[in-house]
Amino acid sequence: MADYLTLKALHVTGAVLMVGNVTVTGLWAAYGFRHRATVPFRFVARAILWTDLIFTFGGGALQTISGILMVESGNLAWRDTGWLRTGIAMLALSSLAWVVVLLPDQLRMARVDPKDDARIVQLFTRWSVVGWASTVVLYVGIWVMTTKVGW
């Protein structure tokens, strides 16, 4: 039981790191974007990259690894457990958006010419829309995993 509780604590810690980071990063990135005339936007984009790699990826990895170990130790049939299947799907969907859209746009924002404001606006707008949608998906995953209500 202690091992399971340790895994559960690690799982929750991973979720806090990941979801907390994407929420806070979205807010302060919007603030930095609004002040891009006085704050170098490359700095903002690079900070997004580093915090995402450390906290989003690190927290997501901790959450995924501990989740797999909990499923194995509890002998849970995740394919037949709606809340677990839905929670995994929410994490997978958000992760897919991060790999396919968000991370590439973060790299583009870090490299864009600071004088090309139209491109910065285009990249940041797409990053924000997809990022906030992915954040909502993560919150749905948290709700499903804590209430154990799934589809």
Q: What does the pLDDT look like over 72-92, one tens digit per residue?
A: 988 888 888 999 999 999 999
Q: What is the CATH number of the domain that holds 108?
A: 1.20.120
**3-state DSSP helix/strand/coil % of the chain, to nearest 5:** 85, 0, 15
Per-residue pLDDT of 14-58, as tens digits, reads 999 999 999 999 999 999 999 999 988 999 999 999 999 999 999
pLDDT the model gives residue 1? 59
CB 149 within 8 A of CB 84: no
The candidate with the shortest Cα–Cα distance to 73, out of 123, 12, 2, 140, is 2
pTM for the structure as a whole: 0.92
Structural domains in the chain (count) = 1
d(CA 17, CA 22): 9
Tokens found for residue 19: 């979801």
pLDDT at 150 over 80: no
* Residue numbers of the domain that contains 87: 2-147
CA angle 129, 82, 77 (to 5 degrees): 125
Measured distance CA(48)–CA(38) in Å, rounded: 18
